[in-house]
Amino acid sequence: MPAGVIADTEELLRTTRAVYVGDRDALALVDQLEARLHEPLRLAIAGMVKAGKSTLLNAMLGERIAATDTAECTRVVTWYRYSPTPRLTMHLRDGTTARMPVRRERGLLAFDLGGRTAEEIEWIDVGWPLEGLSSLILIDTPGIASLSTDTSARTARFLTPEDAPSAADAVVYLMRHLHGSDVRFLEAFRDTAAGAGASVCALAVLSRSDEVGSGRIDSLLSARRVARRYERDGALGALALGVVPVAGLLAEGARTLRESEYIALRELAGLERAKRESLLVSADRFVRESSATGLSVSVREELLSRFGIFGVRLAAAVIRGGVSSSSELSDALIQQSGLIELQEFVQRHFRPRADVLKARSVVLQLQALIRRAPKPGCEAVLAGIERFRASAHTLRELALLAEARADGLPLPEPQAREAELILGAAGVTASARLGLPEGAPPEEISRRVHTQIDQWRRLSADPTADRARSDVVNAVLRSLAAVASETVATRALRRAAHVDSPRRPGDPAGQDAAQQSEENEGGLRRKKRLQWFSLGAQRHPLG
């Protein structure tokens, strides 16, 4: 996709504004689309009832602000976006808005609906001073397949409307087991969000994955095997770019771990083995009156509600393994929870493609507008939409990656693996696409990309190749051409930096400025890969 995708889409909006001049409703939509184009990527969290959506969202935020109980607010679509100060606003069905008080109860953000029911509220807007929300809007949705048809309808109306594109740019879909309802939802999201299956912008999460192994310490290993099996499932593979197992309750507890909880868990870890094992044999046994520990029943009940029996068992084991502080325990539990794998997936596949995904959403809305209310001159808008489709190679990459997971690419195995990498399976940086280590020098990247271009050009000249194979080969060549263009630009910048900061003979501090810059950028990338989603103001709140 051209680097100026946002500028091109802005031009398309200006053309639409000129065509629909005088049409108040259409111009109001154009205003909304222009604002959407410049706001962060919209990432929705969806899934069946009790899949753990709000718990996972809290883990991603690093703060307990999403309601996780059965209150009215869990039946309403809720947006979480950046705001310098906390603010909660209800958008009502009658078109009006109402501010909500900001207060906490037992550490959780309390949603005071002022006596209103979910049926009276269209959506809730939560503004919160978390830095990560400045580049990503998270949207919590009510459970699908709910006993309440109205609750399910809210999610369908928001994410999979019948007569309009989805309001979300991408979705993280939680499932406890692969169910027909899961497949039907993801099919609907693909068709509304991407437009007739043009691309796939969904990640499936095997949620509450600690329950796969009945809360045993090795539960997540079992969950990972199940996730890999689901990835190979043809129905799901064509609808999601991957399946990641996550123990959401453990992730939330670890991201918001308190010092008092660490002290209680440390006491459990320090018990004699027989006493500790008798307490941890089951959730029921853990909260019974017992002389095996000095921890009160209420403290143990709180630990169970915060971490689950799996999390308590794992925390005790990790502490016995040498962890000696609350921050170390938090890091260890986060590593085990699957949250980092989820974060890295979003970072690798959705965030680098944010401009294209937002532009796609705008283009689909314009297409729906023209279908709904055609005007003289709208041919110019349609022409701009066609130009977008023709140049939106990023969306073609996403579609091919999903195809590769579902059915495999129509190429021999070694070439198919290479093609997936080049199309962005491991990330969209030049080194990731070429299978090189992160931070590989531009000269090495340049050599590799030109070698690959020569190889894939030879494949494109094969007269025996069928249409499907030729399409994949041409897509790979287009991705390689983008890498080659990026490499040329990088080398030009390095030469400019070298001219501006010449090396002084014998002065080790006068090393190549571009090389130093590249090393610094590589370090920053590694740091961001681990910390990019630290949305909380403080990851290890004490108390």
pLDDT tens digits, one per residue of 86-140? 999 999 999 899 999 998 887 788 888 888 888 899 899 999 999 889 989 999 9
Burial of 205 (0-12, 13-18, 19+ CB in 10 A): buried
Taking each helix axis from N to C terminus, what angle separates 24-38 and 354-372, rounded to the nearest 10 degrees?
170
Cβ-contact 186, 236 below 8 angstroms = yes
Give which of 148, 207, 158 is closest to 185, Cα–Cα.
Answer: 158
296 backbone φψ class: left, alpha, beta (φ>0; ψ -120 to 50): beta
- Give the whole-angstrom CA distance, residue 443 versus residue 416: 25
Residue 11 vs residues 19, 225, 267: alpha-carbon distances, Å: 13, 48, 63
Say whether pLDDT at 533 is over 50. no
Amino acid 270: pLDDT: 95
Provide mean pLDDT across the span 5-9: 91
- Give the whole-angstrom CA distance, residue 139 versus residue 206: 19
Cβ-contact 484, 450 below 8 angstroms = yes
Architecture of domain 39-247+340-372: 3-Layer(aba) Sandwich (3.40)
The position carrying tokens 């006596």 is 115
- Give the whole-angstrom CA distance, residue 3 versus residue 5: 6
Cβ-contact 410, 466 below 8 angstroms = yes
Please report which confidence band the pLDDT of residue 377 belongs to, taking 50, 70 and 90 as the band edges.
very high
Q: Which helix (H) or strand (E) holds 505?
A: none
Please report which confidence band the pLDDT of residue 82 belongs to, taking 50, 70 and 90 as the band edges.
very high
Cβ-contact 124, 92 below 8 angstroms = no
Cβ-contact 426, 407 below 8 angstroms = no
Q: What is the rounded average pLDDT for all residues in the chain?
A: 84
Q: Which helix (H) or strand (E) holds 403?
A: helix 393-406
Amino acid 236: pLDDT: 83
DSSP structural state of residue 509? G
Please report which confidence band the pLDDT of residue 490 belongs to, taking 50, 70 and 90 as the band edges.
low
The position carrying tokens 């005088």 is 22
- How open is the CA angle 428-429-433, to the nearest 5 degrees? 70
Please report which confidence band the pLDDT of residue 520 belongs to, taking 50, 70 and 90 as the band edges.
very low
- Give the whole-angstrom CA distance, residue 374 versus residue 376: 7
Give which of 274, 264, 244 is closest to 329, Cα–Cα.
Answer: 264
- Give the whole-angstrom CA distance, residue 419 versus residue 433: 9
* CA count, 13 A, side-chain hemisphere, 332: 19
- Give the whole-angstrom CA distance, residue 239 versus residue 185: 10
- Give the whole-angstrom CA distance, residue 360 versus residue 199: 10
Amino acid 175: pLDDT: 92
Provide mean pLDDT across the span 5-29: 94
Contacts of 395 (CB under 8 A, 6+ apart): 194, 198, 199, 356, 360
Give the sign of the dihedral formed by CA 191, CA 196, CA 202, CA 205. positive
Cβ-contact 487, 442 below 8 angstroms = yes
Cβ-contact 139, 79 below 8 angstroms = yes
Please report which confidence band the pLDDT of residue 539 belongs to, taking 50, 70 and 90 as the band edges.
very low
- Give the whole-angstrom CA distance, residue 338 versus residue 243: 11
- How open is the CA angle 384-386-392, to the nearest 5 degrees? 100
Q: How many CB atoms lie within 10 A of CB 271?
A: 18
Q: How many CB atoms lie within 10 A of CB 377?
A: 13
Tokens of 347: 């970072």
Q: Which helix (H) or strand (E) holds 321?
A: none
Provide mean pLDDT across the span 179-201: 72
Tokens of 96: 């009006």
> What percentage of the chain carries pLDDT values higher than 70?
85
* CA count, 13 A, side-chain hemisphere, 129: 6
Amino acid 408: pLDDT: 86
Burial of 375 (0-12, 13-18, 19+ CB in 10 A): middle
Each residue's pLDDT tens digit, 468-484: 999 999 999 999 999 99
Please report which confidence band the pLDDT of residue 524 belongs to, taking 50, 70 and 90 as the band edges.
very low
Residue 419 vs residues 400, 438, 453, 455: alpha-carbon distances, Å: 10, 19, 12, 12
Amino acid 494: pLDDT: 61
